[in-house]
Structure formats: C-alpha cells, structure tokens
Chains A and B, each alone.
Chain A
Amino acid sequence: MSPILLLILFSIFSGLLICVVDRKWAPHLSLATSVISLLYYLFLLIDFEPSGGAAHLFQANWIPGINASFSVALDAQNVLLLLLSFLVLPMGILASWSDTVQRNREYYALMSWGSAALTGFFASQNPFSFYLFFELALIPFYLIVLLYGGAYRRPAVFKFFLYTVFGSFLMLAAIIYLYAVVPDTDINWATAVAEKLGPDNQLWIFGALFIAFAIKSPLFPFHTWQADLYSEGDRPAVMVIAGVLSKMGVFGFIRFYDFVPSALESMRYVIIPLCIIGILYGALVAWRQTVMTRILAYSSLSHMGMIAAALFSGTMVGMQGSLYQMFTHGILAASLFFVVDAIIRRTENTSVYGSAGLAQANPRLSVYFFIIVLASIGLPLTSGFIGEFYMLWGLTQTNIWYGAFAGVSIILGAIYMLRFYQKSVFGEMQSDKVRNFGHLILAEDYVLVVVVILVLSFGFFPGTWMDLTHQAFAQLIQK
C-alpha cells in the first residue's frame, strides 16, 4: 500500500479509536498518533527524490462514469506542505494540553480527521480528489470551532462556512467543466484541456477557481471572515486553520496552473495589484488593532497576499519563495497563535495591553516569542528572510513597482509586529494575573524549542529546501 494512503487511513482510524478509548487517554492517544504520523513522514522523506516526479503514487478508479479517479502521491510541490501539516497538528494538540478537561474525545477525533483530510488534500494528484479533500477539510474544523470556540463563535464560524462553501461550489462547477471538456484524463490532460478551452473560456474557469482560492486563503477583498474566526475560534484549531488551511487556497493555484496558463498570463496584471492592496491593507489594519488574535489575523492577510502575489509573478524565484514562505508562514503563524494562546489562557485578557510586564513575569516565554516575532518580520538568518527575499526578487523581476510596493510591507511588518511585542511583553506590570503568570508547562517548552530550532535551521540552511522548490516549478515554468 502506498505510504501516503497509509498516512491518511492511519489518521482516520486513529480518530475512530480516539472516539472509543477512555476519555482520560484521548489527548495522549491523539498526540501519539500525530507524532507517529510525523515521524513516519520524515522517514519517507529520507529517500525522496524530488526530480523523480510523483512518488508513492496510489491511484484507484473511483467514479468511472465521469472518469474521476482517486489519486494521492508525494511530489516536489506538496512535500513541504505535507511536512507543515504534520508538524502543526501535534503543536495544536499540545496547545490544548493544559485544558483537556473541557475538550472531550470528539475534539481529538475531529483533529485527527482534519489531519487526514489535509494530508489527502495536499497529496491529491487530480482535480477530483483535490476538490473532495478541499471540502472535507472544512468540516472537522467547522465542528471544532462550533463546539469549542469563544462566546461569539457562532456567527463567525457560520460566515466562514458559507464563504468557503460558496467558493468551493464555484470550484466544483469549474472542475465539472474541466472533466466535460476533455473526458480522457491521461498524462497530458491539463495541456489538452488548456488548448481546447482557449483563452476566453480559460478566463471563466480561472475566475471560478480564483474566487474559491481567494476566499480560502484569504486574499483581499474576500477576507472578511478571517478576523472574526481567528479571534473567536478555539485557538488550537485556529493554529491549524491559520497555519495549514490558509495555505490550501494558494496551493490550489499551483495545482491548477497547467489548466489555465493563458488566463494566468492575462490576469496577472489585475491580480498582483489586488494582492498588493491586500498586503498593505492587512499591514495597516494590523498596526491599529489592540486585540492580539486580530493582529495575527490581519498580519496573516498581509503575508498571504504577498505569497499569492509572488506566485502570480510567474518567475522562478518568486514562485520558489512563495512555496518556501507557505511553509515558513505556516509554522510561524501557528506558533504565534500558540504563544498568544499561552498568554491569554493565563491572563484571561485578549488585549495587547493585558499582558504588559510579561518580560519580568516569564522571561523564557518572552525570548521564544521574540525569536518568532523576528522570524515573521523576516530578519536575516531566520526562515522568514529567505522566503521574503525570494518573493520580492521575483516581484521585482516582473515589475519594479510591484517589488517596491510589496517591499513596504516588510517595513510595516516590522512596525506592527514590534509594536505588538512591545505592548504585550514590556511595560509596567499591571495585573495580578501577569504577576502570577507561572512557568511554562513541559508541553509548551517542547513546542517552542522545536519551533525555534526549525526557524533557525531553515534560516541557516535553506539550500536543500530551495532546490526542492526549484524542482517543484521546473516543469511548470518550462511550459
């Protein structure tokens, strides 16, 4: 059996198992299974050859009537994102660790199923499996937020759900059309479809796909669900949503690149400026927020805009940077939510001013926090820098003004992140809750040490991974 399929099935069955074990053991079991998945995946990476095309391919005829097959594999494009999803899941489970009482077995089972859907999504090799998992990944997280989120979660999650479902139905229409245009899905299917569609029809297909992916990412102006969901959702789940689910949209653009090449070419000059507006807008709004989770939400909007803009630049370096940054931003967004969760849980205050004086109360957390903040600003020698640098390089190659405007976001990013850090960590200690902040629990220490190691090692040694991203786009660019 293909190891990728094995990983999906493993997550599904561990979710079922979690449903039936004793309540006390559910968190432990779910942590164990997520770590096993991660280790097994790392083991798979050892002998993975990026230039060799799809590895560990599993393909099954699923619905012969419309030529839809189910196929998952490991390839150069999804290798980093699968790694991301396997890394973020144990982080999320550990974030829930200090508060396992309120979360019962269903919570961990849903986490497992969510992970299965995400694995399937990134590993999928054709539009049909892609769509299936795209939609499926939504449901576990929808339910988690619905069952365990904050006071105003209902309207937030409902908005999120309707937006996403609207987008994904548009995408379904596009996919049905793709299968109807050229029913014969062999190796050169995408090219055949693109030829048969012609530039005009490609625009329609691209439009439907763009709205679906822009909602999911989210990109400006389809982002209005984001801040509400991020601030009201259950934070461990939001870690996964901000870290991994938000990458699904941009990843979709990579996957459908072949089907709509000429539409991409002609729409580039509309979409990149739109993304740049989103970059600046997100950064400016994040600057003026006082709720921690909202700052992170708008910073995410800004970063995702940058990633999408670089991807649409169509240059090799831009796309490489964008793929690399998807991974980095995933880790950083998840760990920022992790830190914020650790703070909010103890101070019971979501405002940035609520935890003033944290530097004295818990210097250790403050240091971890600082490293993560620096990485998300894109300081050299952290993983954030490489991605930002490549992306800006790519954008500048397309048009120097794109590079210039997008580059402003680095400065704005530094402003809002440092303001965030300054307000929340330094200053006069005002609340007793901060004074009695206490130590980090072991789970938190583990996660933060791992994140710091990841951030630094990806910053110091980007070479191997950059080669990987080069392989990912080598074929796309040639065409």
Chain B
Amino acid sequence: MLSMIVLTVAGVLALFLGFTKTKSLILPVAMLGVLASAAAYYFYQSLWGEWLLGMMGTFGSPSVFVGLLLACTFVILPFLNVYKLRGGGELGDFTGIILFSVIGGMMMVSHQDLMILFLGIEILSIAMYILAGADRRVIQSNEAAIKYFIMGAFASAIFLFGVGLYYVSTGSFKIFDVKIIAPELYSISILVLFAGLAFKLALAPFHFWAPDVYQGAPTIFTAVMATLVKIAGFGALFQLFRYHAGFVSEWIYWMMILLALLSMLIGNIMAFSQTSVKRLLSYSGIVQAGFILIGFLHTRIENTWMVAYYLVAYVLASLASFFVIYFVENKKGSDDIGEFKGLYYQNPVLAVVFTIALVSFGGVPLTAGFMAKLFVLNHAAGFGSPALVLVSLVLAVASMYYYFKLINQFYTSDESGVKSWDISWGYKGMLIVLSVLTLFLGLYPYGIYPWIS
C-alpha cells in the first residue's frame, strides 16, 4: 500500500511541476518516485502483506508482476523526454497519467477481490484513453481515443456482468476461499470475466480495437499500451486463474486454447499485408498475446516465472521496436514500411536494435523471445497437447515472414538519398541496453529466474 501512496504522491508532484517553469525536474522526480515505490514494495512487504482488509495481497505472483510494471515504467519514463523538446507544456500531465495508470496496474495484478480488479482496470483504462488521444491536433489520435474509449467501456460492462455472475454463483467478490453455490454459473462467470480481460489484452476475437488504437495513438504511448497494459492484464488473469485453477471445468481451458490459436492465426493473417509498421506490430502483439495465453493452461503458482519470462521478453522487444518506430516516424513523418528502407545505412544503431527486437518476436534462438516460446510450448507439451505445440510452431514460422520482410527493408540500400542521421546518445544507450538484455536473457534465461519466481 505504501508503494502506491508513494507513486500517487510522485504522480501528483509531476502534475504540479508541469505548471511551474522547472519542467526538467518532472522526469527525475517521476523516476525517483518509481524507485521509491519499488523500494517501499519490497522492503515493507511483510508489513503490508494484505491490504484493504485482504482485498489486495502480495503473496506469490503479484510481487513479480508489480516488479515488472515498475521496471517497465522506469524504462519508459526517460523516453517521455521527447515531449520536452516539443515545448513541454504537456509533459507533466503525461508523466502523471502514466504513474496513475501504473497504480491501476498494481491494483489489477495484486487483487484478491473482483471489485479491486474492476477499479484497477478502470484506472488503467481511463489513463490509456487519455494517452491515446494525446496528440489533440491529429485526427487519427482522436479517433483512437474515441474508439478505445467506446470499446473499453463495452468491455468493462462485460466484465462487470462477469463479476455479477460470480457474485451470484459464489456469494462473494473474494477470489480465494471460494464456496461454489452454482457450479455451471460459476464456470460461465469465469468465462465472462476472462472475456472482459481478453478485451483489454487484445486477444482475438476481442482484438478489433487494437490496430486502430495502436496506429492512431502517439508512438511513445503505443509503447506504453503495448507493455504496461499487457503486463497488468496478464498479471490480473494469472491472479484470477491461480486461485481458480482447481475449480473451473476443463472446457474453460479448451476455450483458452481456442483463443490462443485464434489470436495467433488472425494476428498472423492480418499482419501479412500491413504497410504501417505500427499496425503490423499491433497484430504481432496479438500473436504474442496468444503465445502467452498458452502459459495459462492449468495455471499454478509455480508457473509464474514462465508467464513473467515471456512478458519480459515481449516487453523488451516491444519497447525497443516502438521507440525505434518513434524516431523513424519523427524523422520522416510516417511509419510506412517504405520509410524503413535502408535504415541500416542511415542509422545503423536503430536498424540493429530493431532487428534484434524483431527476431526476438519471431523466436530465433539466443534471443529472449526464443526461450520464452520454448518454455510455453514445453508447458503445452506437458499439458498433453502435441497438436497445440505443432500448430503454434507453424504459426510462429509464419510470423517470421513479416518480421523478416521488415528486416529485409532495413538492409536494402535506399536510393531516395536520405543522409545518415543520428539520435542523441542517451536514447541510443537505452535502446542498446534493451537489445543487450534481450540477447543476455536468450543466452542465459536463468539470469532473471530468481527475480521472477
């Protein structure tokens, strides 16, 4: 709880610093706030093991996902600096909103009560609606915000319906110590709750909002959506299912497999012919979400590390690729696939960073993405479904097609005569760190095992 208070204070401070002339303080304050919040979480955990009369808890998986959320925020915040260059009038607002959304995410992953989960979802989502519409003057950004808002509201309604069913069938909002009164209704309620979360996670067939929103939102905030929301959503789903894995009927898992396969299939098919790189990555995000979902079959607390590992791999690659897209878009004014032609000859660092991120998405060995896929597929083999393993592998190969189509572009020499350009060393260093981490985790996956288990 203390960590959330610290984060709130930091967010409010950031908002107020935005009014003053000392705008250069905003990001350092926010980053310090994140660090302080992490420290508060890990050093006072025993004091605050259960918060709000047991509506939130830190036992087991939540601490892993909270750590991921804070680490991810810590990486994103420095990149907001690009808004300072553009006058900086909005920097304080954006920083504050992101910090508040993290609070929502923390509530989601550590919920022990569906009301908290709902509140968390709303806090996170409303922050995201605002961020999606952050570029007020751009029509696509407005479209993204409206679309995201309407779809999100719809998803929230479905989720609330699930909460209602859950209450009817168990007589409580608590997700542990379940006393099932109506078993069939209970299973349906879990399914509806799952569908509501699947909306937030952009799993097919609940994915229709994702490409438009990803494309329309300012790229930096697309990165936020692709990472923070996914971590929070999967963390919440994990928390929900780890308490209910023993009670839900087997067909829920088959629905899960269905959703995972649909996500991989639809994401792949749609990604094939995209010309906007942001759209392409949004479909690729749907494919990745499908893979992560395989890790949820027969959810057990011991499997936290597997899901968390996949999320780490996914987040590293997503952040790197969206930031690269931001810089290219900023330079050339569009995220069309043609703008990436000859990137290697213009800016080798960005090209190599993006290449590593994409091969990690594709699951080439020695990248974190490969290990992540290996772990979830190994899990699927253990679940006793060789067909699932085989189909997902074939779909993973299919995904290589568009990743490598993009990579091919970087190394095609470009005749348009764009001179080589550069970005400042700070950003370059951050991007290189993300790539190195991707490679390190691919080489030595147990490097982060103690942190995520």
* A-to-B contact residues, CB < 8 Å: 63-66, 131-132, 135-136, 139, 143, 146-147, 154, 158, 161-162, 165-166, 169-170, 172-173, 176-177, 179-180
Contacts and interface: CB of A to CB of B under 8 A. Distances in A.
B366 A63 contact: no
Contact of A65 (B364, B375, B377, B396): B375
Contact of A135 (B364, B378, B394): B364
Contacts of B404: 158, 161-162
10 contacts: A64-B446, A66-B374, A136-B365, A139-B359, A143-B411, A162-B401, A165-B397, A166-B397, A169-B397, A170-B390
A180 B394 contact: no
A158 B375 CA distance: 28
Contacts of B446: 63-65
Contacts of B366: 132, 136
B400 A176 contact: no
B378 A180 contact: yes
Contacts of A177: 381, 386, 389
A173 B397 contact: no
Contact of A173 (B393, B405, B412): B393
A145 B411 CA distance: 11
Q: Determine which residue in A147, A165, A170 has the highest number of CB atoms from chain B within 10 A of its CB, and name it.
A: A165
Nearest to B449: A65
Contacts of B386: 173, 177
Interface in B168-191: none
A458 to B, nearest CB: 34
A65 B374 CA distance: 11
A173 B401 CA distance: 19
Interface string B367-402: 000010011011001100010011001101100110
A179 B378 contact: yes
Interface in B342-360: 359
B191 to A, nearest CB: 29
Contacts of B382: 180
Nearest to B404: A161
Contacts of A131: 365
Nearest to A163: B397
B340 to A, nearest CB: 15
Contacts of B393: 169-170, 172-173
Nearest to A143: B411
A169 B378 contact: no
A176 B381 contact: yes
Contacts of A165: 397, 400
B365 A132 contact: yes
Given A135-B364, A169-B394, A63 B445 contact: yes
B96 to A, nearest CB: 40
Contacts of A170: 390, 393
Contacts of B371: 63
A12 to B, nearest CB: 11
Contact of A176 (B359, B378, B397, B445): B378
Per CB-CB distance, the 5 closest pairs between chain A and chain B, nearest first, are A180-B381, A135-B365, A169-B393, A169-B397, A166-B397
Contacts of A147: 411
Nearest to B391: A173
A157 to B, nearest CB: 8
B408 interface: yes
A66 B309 CA distance: 15
A310 B382 CA distance: 37
A122 B191 CA distance: 49
Contacts of A65: 375, 446
A169 B396 contact: yes
Contacts of B374: 66, 172, 176
Interface string B285-305: 000000000000000000000
A139 B442 CA distance: 15
Q: Determine which residue in A66, A135, A139, A173 has the highest number of CB atoms from chain B within 10 A of its CB, and name it.
A: A173
Contacts of B411: 143, 146-147
Contacts of B408: 146, 154, 158
A215 to B, nearest CB: 12
Contacts of A172: 374, 377, 393
Interface string B427-453: 000000000000000000110000000
Contacts of A63: 371, 445-446
B154 to A, nearest CB: 37
Contacts of B397: 162, 165-166, 169
Contacts of B381: 176-177, 180
A177 B364 CA distance: 19
A1 B342 CA distance: 42
Nearest to A201: B386
B389 A176 contact: yes
Contacts of A143: 411
Nearest to B381: A180
Contacts of A173: 377, 386, 389-390, 393
A423 to B, nearest CB: 35
B445 A162 contact: no
Contacts of B365: 131-132, 135-136
A143 B404 CA distance: 11
A162 B400 contact: yes
A102 to B, nearest CB: 12
A64 B382 CA distance: 16
A177 B390 CA distance: 10
A172 B390 CA distance: 9
Q: Determine which residue in B386, B393, B394, B445 has the highest number of CB atoms from chain A within 10 A of its CB, and name it.
A: B393
Nearest to B365: A135
A139 B359 CA distance: 10
A177 B374 CA distance: 11
Contacts of A179: 378
Contacts of B359: 139
Nearest to A172: B393
A101 to B, nearest CB: 16
A177 B378 CA distance: 8
Contacts of A154: 408, 412
A162 to B, nearest CB: 6
A54 B260 CA distance: 43
Q: Determine which residue in B365, B378, B382 has the highest number of CB atoms from chain A within 10 A of its CB, and name it.
A: B365
Nearest to A175: B374
Contacts of A158: 404-405, 408
A172 B400 CA distance: 15
Given A136-B365, A158-B405, A166-B397, 13 more contacts: A63-B446, A66-B378, A131-B365, A143-B411, A147-B411, A154-B408, A154-B412, A166-B394, A169-B393, A169-B397, A173-B389, A173-B390, A173-B393
A136 B439 CA distance: 13
A161 B408 CA distance: 12
A176 B377 CA distance: 8
A179 B412 CA distance: 40
Interface in B10-47: none
B341 to A, nearest CB: 12
Contacts of B396: 169
A328 to B, nearest CB: 30
Contacts of A136: 365-366
B449 to A, nearest CB: 8
A6 to B, nearest CB: 18
Contacts of A169: 393-394, 396-397
Nearest to A183: B382
B64 to A, nearest CB: 16
A166 B395 CA distance: 10
B356 to A, nearest CB: 11
Nearest to B401: A162
A176 B390 CA distance: 10
A185 to B, nearest CB: 14
A161 B386 CA distance: 25
B302 to A, nearest CB: 10
Nearest to A142: B404
Nearest to A65: B375
A265 B451 CA distance: 48
